[in-house]
Structure 1
């Protein structure tokens, strides 16, 4: 038999059931309804529903068939006019047979303790902020010891068999032999090692892309606005499922689920609710950063940001869930900004306030993301499928209490444990220092042209003063020359020799103006302008030294002054024929002297020597 696609709507007096049976024979169909039971048969389609409230057969019932669309529309009167039927969108729950909801057909469901516990759950208000001691299994329970995980901690041994295939799905190694406390310690250590301050600060200061995605509004934002406006305009109670619409694909997926019953103790139920918050937070982050579009990273984002899925974590408080999610957002995905943590928190509150229909729609989307990703599909078997079935049977007031508790919770940067505020403050100080240095550099560059002009002006003034000094020196020399009287006639004879360049002993050619010789009739006198030697020192040297001129052969037969030895006379060895030899014996020199007007021709190795 084929279970057909169907839809349920209602008004104050009637329940309407629309059943799609294409290619069925309209003349051959059966409809049965009584109390909460409804059955429909049209070969090969069969549909059995367990309704949330009672219907009656009083002659007002009506059925019609649309041959073009292949749909049956059946209108059934309510037993109590005006009664509201809750949970008409929970298709999996409606398909469950009536006997599985009451009585004792299954070994797990018993009327005594289980029923009492379920009734206690419905009556008592659960304190979501209550701190609980994590559950520890004793070694006597199972040998070998295997720790549980999955929805309600109902699974074990799964990863022991499929460790190689599922190593990329979860981060914890060997979860079957790792207790809950050790999983938490390893998770915190892995997050601390993964946190990158440079990546966080880059997203903190350069957040254009993040501010863009924060403007995206998913479908639940508009639905929440409509719900708020409806509640503000009317004080009547109304199920919020009317603001959530399921697609045909989602309805088909709900029909494929197999109905189950979950017997959970108080601690397990607590873990299930907190795990639901953790999964929804990761899903809201994924929808925000990708602006509603799915990509190849969608499955990775959801499972990586949820410690429930990635580390098989069992939380004990709402605050622990928020801290774990905040740490993982700042460690793993592409965008690591605290604003995305706050946005996911607000979105999750809105989804829970919209009720279980909105939660179910999100879970179905997560189920689809994992179903299309290999090997993340195993997370559907461990968590998401059970969540999709379980949420349909959850009381609305439980979700309302959960959303209230989440809304009262707070998460600030100091809770995360990465010293975010200190990092931001240090980065801001560094930025201010860099701006100060840049401003100082700009000011110095602006002042540079004026300083250069001042330097050039000082250089010009110094050159001007030096030229003036040289002019005054030349004027003083001219006056001293005129005072000496007439120049000896021998000056003209030596003028030609003075123009011949002198070669210093170091091989450098000195200019023709290196020395100026002045000869007077009254007294021999030598004036050296280049070295400015005192007259008294020259006269003393005249008495102790002889001038020697190295002779060298020239093509024209002229003698060229090559080098002058300034050795004292007592250091020389007399040689015959008018030659003298230096003590080193390095060359012969012709001694020239004049008794009346001795003339000294000499050169120095450099202009600094006297």
Structure 2
């Protein structure tokens, strides 16, 4: 089955779902909706959504089809006037695939009566025993994790040829997080060039020119501030201003909806690495004035310790110090004004909300996707960030 292109919009009383099915038979389609569940089928297309609010069948629902292959379905809201949040988070709306496991991953103990438990085959207590000798290598792999939420390991054993072009750390699958940080700090100290830094500091015409550039989020943020002064700002304005292109919407539909089970400590680390990645992205946008080039993937991954050294942060000050050190060590323009500008812009993006953050992550995803072998970083980090951010809460960073 093919997941069709779709969009959602709303007014006070109705939810409108627009579905593009250019090759479907108009006479053979089916629509089902109840509560927060919506299903659409028109061979070979199938769409299943979990809506952020409840809809109802009361006779006012309506579906139309035009010659361009677009179904427009208007569904009444169960509570008139209710505002459905997150309608632009397309991946999050896709109903997650049900587990195919025959048995639950976690079984609740003590909930069945003794007589309901099937009698198990008698265990052979005389079975021969052998000691389990865990190898040093497998033990190290359990410590040397990386990627989104530190959920991956052993990846670079299969990608040795691409390794040197993607990250700076050697043998990441046998290097712990503490060792990675120690080696990163040593590499930055060795790379710092006082002459280059002083040249950019005193001959800053090019830097001043770059700082005049206005990225898209600066205008959106200005409108937000103006609207707040007039008490007219709300999330509807935000969604209207932070819009996604057709390519971005298509990429959102391609992502698989997943739920990430992160403990409190890991979740904190994920937020900090998000800031680290956004800082590097903001620098790249100013350095190229929004016109990405062949150096763009290098800029982003080189300035982000998360991407370049598989760094795991535990404190926001470490994120900011790391980014500042790398800006004055590696890129073409090594001026501290670009550090502060990237920081201010990252704060802007976070204050604009999930839509703005997601739009930046999708741009990073595209930059890496079109570069070989930077695409590996999408598999390690960016794809999961694009999915996770749609359900995350940013208030803890602000």
| Matched residue, 1:401 | 396
After TM superposition, list the pairs within 5 Å mapping 1:88-167 onto structure 2. 88-97=87-96, 143-146=138-141, 147-167=144-164
Query: What SS does the aligned partner of 2:166 have?
Result: coil
Q: What is the CA deviation profile of residues 283-326 of structure 1, one whole-angstrom value per residue up to 9, with x for unaligned ones?
A: 00001110111110000000000000000111111111000000
| Matched residue, 1:87 | 86
| Matched residue, 2:311 | 313
Task: Give TM-score scaled by structure 1 length.
Answer: 0.58
Q: Distance between the aligned counterparts of 2:108 and 2:209, measured in 1? A: 55
| Matched residue, 2:69 | 70
Does residue 9 in structure 1 map to residue 6 in structure 2? no
| Matched residue, 2:126 | none
1:25 CA drift (Å)? 2.4
After TM superposition, list the pairs within 5 Å mapping 1:438-457 onto structure 2. none
| Matched residue, 1:204 | 201
Larger CA Rg, structure 1 vs 2: 1
1:76 CA drift (Å)? 0.7
Q: Distance between the aligned counterparts of 1:237 and 1:245, measured in 2? A: 15
Q: Distance between the aligned counterparts of 1:251 and 1:181, measured in 2? A: 39
Query: What SS does the aligned partner of 1:167 have?
Result: helix
Q: 1:141 to 1:251 in 2, by over 3 A?
A: farther
8 Å contact 2:137–2:174 — kept in the other structure? Answer: no
1:108 CA drift (Å)? 5.7
Q: Distance between the aligned counterparts of 1:30 and 1:328, measured in 2? A: 55
Q: What is the CA deviation profile of residues 342-364 of structure 1, one whole-angstrom value per residue up to 9, with x for unaligned ones?
A: 11001100111111111111111
1:233 CA drift (Å)? 2.4
Q: Distance between the aligned counterparts of 1:165 and 1:180, measured in 2? A: 21
Q: 1:350 to 1:89 in 2, by over 3 A?
A: same
After TM superposition, list the pairs within 5 Å mapping 1:167-178 onto structure 2. 167-178=164-175
| Matched residue, 1:281 | 279
| Matched residue, 1:335 | 333
Q: Distance between the aligned counterparts of 1:232 and 1:340, measured in 2? A: 29
Q: 1:167 to 1:359 in 2, by over 3 A?
A: same
Q: Distance between the aligned counterparts of 1:106 and 1:343, measured in 2? A: 52
Q: 1:38 to 1:111 in 2, by over 3 A?
A: farther
Q: 1:109 to 1:82 in 2, by over 3 A?
A: farther
8 Å contact 1:6–1:18 — kept in the other structure? Answer: yes
Question: Considering only aligned residues, what root-mean-square deviation do their CA atoms show, in Å?
Answer: 2.2
Does residue 191 in structure 1 map to residue 185 in structure 2? no
Task: Work out which of the residue numbers 259, 262, 270 in structure 2 matches 1:261.
Answer: 259
Question: What are structure 2's unaligned runs of at least 5 residues?
Answer: 110-133
| Matched residue, 2:219 | 222
| Matched residue, 1:32 | 32
After TM superposition, list the pairs within 5 Å mapping 1:518-597 onto structure 2. none
The alignment of Structure 1 onto Structure 2 pairs a total of residues equal to: 370
Task: Give TM-score scaled by structure 2 length.
Answer: 0.88
Q: 1:47 to 1:143 in 2, by over 3 A?
A: closer
Query: What SS does the aligned partner of 2:22 have?
Result: coil
1:237 CA drift (Å)? 5.1
1:73 CA drift (Å)? 0.9
